[in-house]
Amino acid sequence: MLPRISAASQTGFLRSVDAGPETGLIAAVEKEPSLARSTGKIAIASLTSRITGFLWKIMLVWVVGIGVVNDSFNVANTLPNIVYELLLGGVLASVVVPLLVRAQDDPDGGEAYTQRLLTMALTLLGGATVVAVLAAPWFTALYVDSSTNQANPELTTAFAYLLLPQILFYGIFALLMAILNAKQIFGPPAWAPVVNNLVVIATILVFAMVPGEISLDPVRMGDIKLLVLGVGVTLGIVAQAAMLVPPLLRTGFRPKWNWGIDHRMREFGGLALWIVAYVAISQIGYMVTTRVLTAGDAGGMTAYYNAWLLFQLPYGVIGVSLLTAIMPRMSRAAADGNIKKLISDLSYASRITTVALLPIAAVMTVVGSSIGVALFSLGRGGAGDGAERLGEALGIGAFGLLPYALVMLQLRVFYAMKDARTPTLIMLVMTVVKVPLLYLCPVLLESHQIVLGAMLVNSLTFLVGAVLGQMWLWVRLGNLRSKRVLGVILFTSFASIIGALAAFGAGWLIPDWLPVTLTAWLKLFVQSAVGFGVTLGVLALLKVDELKPITTRLNALRSKVLKK
């Protein structure tokens, strides 16, 4: 699955903070000193939005279970994101934002440019939204494979009618955020997704309270529950976009229809085209994923989607906070053509990412199913073995965590070197590998195991991506000191495997006559503690240098959070 998109589908915010920098946003903005100062605050907002965003996903499982309804909702709720990304997302990050920053030097402070941009984007998005809503059944047919009678395309379409209007508001949010960022306002855009998540959480509470069931056969648009969920989630995105209007007006900007294309936009045409191609190719991978999953067992899509969110969490929280400091340095080195410095920063970033994420991946492999049961088996999530399967999917895919993080790192280096082509080609190879392997899953696996296979394939794809990325960076830059990185990976793998074995052993200590959920929580805590403890101990014994910055940074982060 495409990192950008999936990050984006978690909350609109992730796309902007996480994926934005990958596409030149950071190159344009981060030289401003105030960004460094606001990074801390943004990190807190990012963390909050991730947690609340994840909370509502879990709550949704508690309320509707891991089954056809949740599957349909998840597929339908990704559709607006996909359309938005294809139309505007990539172009926005790569073209519009750098131009916005430049336009601030216009005699009118960029007002005319901003008006023109908003006019054009809103027209485009408005039209696209109408077309997309009309084409909802067609989208469903594209993303849902109902040939095995495991999916419910009617329900997906019903949700899609209610959720697709989000396209317009995603676009408005992203544009307003870009405008505010260009004006050095970072707070409201960072917190807006939290508002979205709160609205959705309220929606789910209402959903749980209203009487009735979502009828599956036939699907009725008038179902009160269906309406509550669909409209509520869309309202969340509306609120997220609306949040940004007052701060924008406060900057003195006056919205006005202003037709015309700014000639500066053309300069970036080529770059944007490659980025759009990147998005489009990754969408093929995503489409095949949803088709295979919806054709498999009911609940597979939900399990996969939530496992993927869980999978990303360590990178999002730890990886990003470790890399915040080093990313701007790398972009600057690339901009200055200082290849030596770029390589040494890349190598360093790869090594600390390794030391931070490999132990987590190892422990995740062991405690995966406990995480699934612990988090998702409340309420309706407890029915069947969906929660456990979700956790198993996480455990099986966990090894992809480091490759995933490395791919993200390499992407940033490529984009910092203004090379949008190589990432697209790498994505092409990844997709070419992924699609046949995904179609292999239903052949080799029982239908309820397909989600496990899909997660495995996904992680393997990132492995391909990471190796290819390293290779093509080598082609561009020469010796990358990969040996040192590999050394750290080997040492850390060794420590992590010992840690994972210890954690596995610790699992025997937990009595299994306790209630299932309690056992899962106990296992989660005990095994994680043992796993991390042993891994850190071994790493310390091996005297891995890269351990030091991580401990100091984690300490700093902890004291920072405590201070807040």
Q: How far apart are CA 484 and CA 494, in angstroms?
A: 15
From the CB of 452, what's the least distance to another protein, in Å? 5
Longest dimension (CA), the chain: 73
Beta strands in 421-519 (DSSP E): none
CA distance 38 to 17: 12
Residue 337 engages another protein in binding (rule: CB under 8 A): no
Q: What is the spatial distance between Cα 417 and Cα 409, in angstroms, rounded to a whole number?
A: 13
- Comparison of 8 and 473: residue with beta carbon closer to another protein: 473
* Residue 486 binding another protein, by CB under 8 A: no
By CB neighbour count within 10 A (0-12 exposed, 13-18 middle, 19+ buried), where does 130 fall?
A: middle
The reply to whether 298 sits near another protein by the rule CB under 8 A is yes
Q: Say whether residue 468 binds another protein (CB under 8 A).
A: yes
In the block, tokens 């190796």 appear at: 467
Q: Is 215 helix (H, G, I), strand (E, B) or coil?
A: coil
CB distance 437 to 463 below 8 Å: no
Contact between 479 and another protein per CB under 8 A: yes
Q: Which of the ranges 96-104, 222-230, 451-459, 488-496 carries the binding residues for another protein, by CB under 8 A?
A: 451-459
Does position 452 bind another protein by CB under 8 A?
yes
Q: Which stretch binds another protein (CB under 8 A): 197-205, 377-385, 490-498, 550-558?
A: 377-385
Show the tokens assigned to 287: 């489409």
Q: Does residue 515 belong to the site contacting another protein (CB under 8 A)? A: no
Q: Which stretch binds another protein (CB under 8 A): 54-62, 239-247, 407-415, 472-480?
A: 472-480
Closest to 302 in 3D by CA, of 52, 9, 57, 55? 57
The string of DSSP codes covering 278-306 is HHHHHHHHHHHHHHHHHHSSTTHHHHHHH
Are 80 and 132 within 8 A, CB to CB?
A: yes
Determine if 149 is a binding residue for another protein (CB under 8 A).
yes
Binder to another protein among 101, 281, 441, 538 (CB under 8 A)?
441
**CA–CA distance, 245 with 223 (Å, rounded to integer):** 33
Smaller CB separation from another protein, 152 or 234: 152
Q: Tell me which stretch binds another protein (CB under 8 A): 15-23, 286-294, 343-351, 429-437.
A: 429-437
Least CB distance to another protein at residue 208 (A): 18
Q: Does 150 bind another protein (CB under 8 A)?
A: yes
Helix and strand tally (H, E) in the chain?
26, 0
Does position 218 bind another protein by CB under 8 A? Answer: no
Torsion (CA) 441, 447, 451, 454 in degrees, nearest 10: 10
CB of 475 to another protein, least distance (A): 5
Cis peptide before 218 (omega within 30 of 0): yes
**Tokens 């060794």, residue?**
494
Instruction: Mark residues 389-418: x for contact with another protein by CB under 8 A, - for none.
Output: ---x---x----------------------
- Those residues with Cβ within 8 angstroms of residue 257's Cβ, 6 or more apart along the chain or in another chain: 115, 119
Q: How far is the CB of 5 from another protein (least distance, A)?
A: 22
Q: Is 209 in the site for another protein (CB under 8 A)?
A: no
Binding range to another protein, per CB under 8 A, among 45-53, 207-215, 312-320, 435-443: 435-443
Is residue 508 near another protein by the rule CB under 8 A? no
Which residue, 259 or 513, has its beta carbon nearer to another protein?
A: 513
Interacting span for another protein (CB under 8 A) from 197-205, 371-379, 476-484, 520-528: 476-484
DSSP 500-528: HHHHHHHGGGS-SSS-HHHHHHHHHHHHH
**Nearest to another protein of 90, 442 (CB atom):** 442
* 384 touches another protein by CB under 8 A: yes
What is residue 152's DSSP assignment? -
- Interface with another protein by CB under 8 A: which range of 165-173, 281-289, 321-329, 444-452? 444-452
Among 44, 432, 501, 536, binds another protein (CB under 8 A): 432
With binding defined as CB under 8 A, does residue 471 bind another protein? Answer: yes
Closest CA to 380 of 213, 493, 529, 530: 213
Question: Residue 105's CB: how many other CB atoms inside 10 A?
Answer: 8
Q: Give the type of residue at 229.
A: L
- Residue 440 as a binder of another protein (CB under 8 A): the answer is yes
Give the interface segment with another protein, choosing from 252-260, 277-285, 304-312, 382-390 (CB under 8 A).
382-390
Select the residue interacting with another protein from 242, 284, 467, 557 (CB under 8 A).
467
Number of chain positions touching another protein (CB under 8 A): 42
Which CB sits closer to another protein, 352 or 401? Answer: 401
- Tell whether the torsion through CA atoms of 319, 324, 328 and 330 is positive or negative: negative
CB of 433 to another protein, least distance (A): 5
The residues in 4-63 that bind another protein, with binding defined as CB under 8 A, are none
Determine the Cα–Cα distance for residues 301 and 284; give it in Å rounded to an integer. Answer: 16
* Site for another protein, rule CB under 8 A: 67-68, 149-150, 297-298, 383-385, 388, 392, 396, 429, 432-433, 436-437, 440-441, 444-449, 452-453, 456-457, 460-461, 463-464, 467-468, 471-472, 474-476, 478-479
